Chains A and B, each alone.
Chain A
C-alpha cells in the first residue's frame, strides 16, 4: 500500500509516494537518491543508518518512512554547510577516524548530536555514546580521538541532558 509522504530533508521540503513497508533509509536512498546513509544490519545493531529525526539521532532502518510524515530529517549530506565541512568531519580526517568509511556517516550523525548535548565529554562518555555504532576497520581509538578533537575545537555551549 502506497501513501504520500511529505517531510523536510536537510532543510528542503520533499514529497514522494512510499510503500507503507518502506523504511526511512529506503525512502532516503532509493526514493530521494541520498545514498550517503548506509544500511549495514537492517535490524538496529550496527548504527550505520543513523540519521537525525526531529533533532534526535535514530536508526533509519527501524523507522517506517510513513512515520516521518511532517518531520525534519537531517542526513550526512546536510552536515557540511556551504561547501565547508563540519568541524567533526574535519576532526575525523585529521585523526584518521575512518578507513572504508561505511560506518562514518552514521557515526558522524550520532557524534554531532552527542557533542551538541555534551560539549565537554569524557572519553568514557564518548565510548558509551557511540556503543551502538559498529566499525570493522579502525579499532575505535581514532574515532574517539576525532570526537575529542572536535569537542576541543568547539565552544562549550549550554549542555542539556538527553539527546
Chain B
C-alpha cells in the first residue's frame, strides 16, 4: 500500500463517535486449568497447543517469583487478573487499517504515536495488538510475495502449526522462569515472523502493543525465526493509557537465527510509569531471548526503556553457532519512583563468538535502576570476545544506579572487557548550555541525548527520533 493511501485511510472522518467504548469480551478474573482451556478454545487452537499450555501452567504452580532482582513491589495477586479480553466480534474483526476501530487509531494519536506516520515511513508493516487480539495487519501482500510470514501468533498456530511447533519454546522453554511459565500458560496474542532461506525482509516489521481494558494482564508471545542467510529488522513499541491499578505485563520474545541469518530487534518502550508516587504504573516482566543457532548468525537487541512502574528485563543471546554475534544496546531512563532492573546475558557457547554490550542508564527523581549483565563463556567457546560498556548518569541526588556485572569465564582464550562509569549530570555542562540561552530543561535533554548517542544510532531512523522525544518527555521536570 502506498504511504499516501495509508495517510488517507487513517485520516478520514471517523464515523463512530469519540465516546463509544470498545466492548470487551473478558473472562472473570482468576486462573486455573479451565481458564487456560477457555483461552485455547477461544483461539481455536489444536489439542497439542492446549497440552503445551497446561504443562507450562503445572510447572508455574511449582515455581516462585524471582526475589533477587533489585526491585521492591507488593506481591501480585494472580487470581485478581483477567486472562482474556478481546474485541467482542472476534470473527469479523478488522483485517486491515480501514476496518480498524477509529477509536483505537485516535488513542494512538493521543499517545503521540500516529500510526499513519509510522506506517508511512519507509513502508513499515504494522501488526497492532489491541488488548489481546491483533486487529490489523497490513502490507501482507508484499511480505507474502517475498515469502515472509508476519501474522499474529494465534493465526500462526492455526495456519503454520509445523513451524510454530518446531520453534515455540525452543529458546525460552515453558519452565524457564516464573513469568515465562505464566506466559506460556496464558499467552493470548503476539506476533509470529518467519523469514525463509536467503530472503532479506523487504521492510521493517513493526508491532505496537498497548494495554487498554482495566485489570487485564497482557501476555504476548512473539516468535521470530530467520532461516539461513535471511534478514529481518523488527520494531516493537509500547504505550498504555493512565491506570489506577498496577497492571502486569509478562511477555516472552523468542528469536531464532539460523546460519548466516541476521535479526535486529528494536524496542521503544513507553508504558505508563505510574504517577510521581509510583501509583498506577505497569509491571513489566519480560523474557526476551535470542538464539544464534547457526554459524555466523547475528542477533542484535536495541532498546529504549522509559516507561513502566517496574521493569524486569534481560534480553539475552545464546551464541551457539560458530562465529555468531550478539549485541545489546540499551538506554534505560527512570524518573519519579520508577524501578528498573535490566541488563542482558551473553552466553558464549560456540567457537569465535563475539558480543557487545552498551548500556546507558539515566536515573532522575527518586527512581532506582540496576544493570545486571552476565557474560558467560563456555568451555568450547574458543577465542570468544566480549566488550561491555556500562554508563550511568544521575540527575539530582535522590536517585540511584547500580551495576552488577557478572562474568563466568570457562575458557582462557576468551577476551572479556568491561568498562563502567557513573556520573552526575555535569553542573558545568548545564551552565555552559544555559549561558548560551538554552533552558535548563532543553540543556538536560541535550546532554542526556548526547549521553545516549551510541545506542540511538543503532535504532532505525524514525525510531531514533521518537526515542529522543520520549526521553525528553520522561525527564520533564527532572531538574530544578
A binds B: no
Chain A contacts to B: CB under 8 angstroms: none
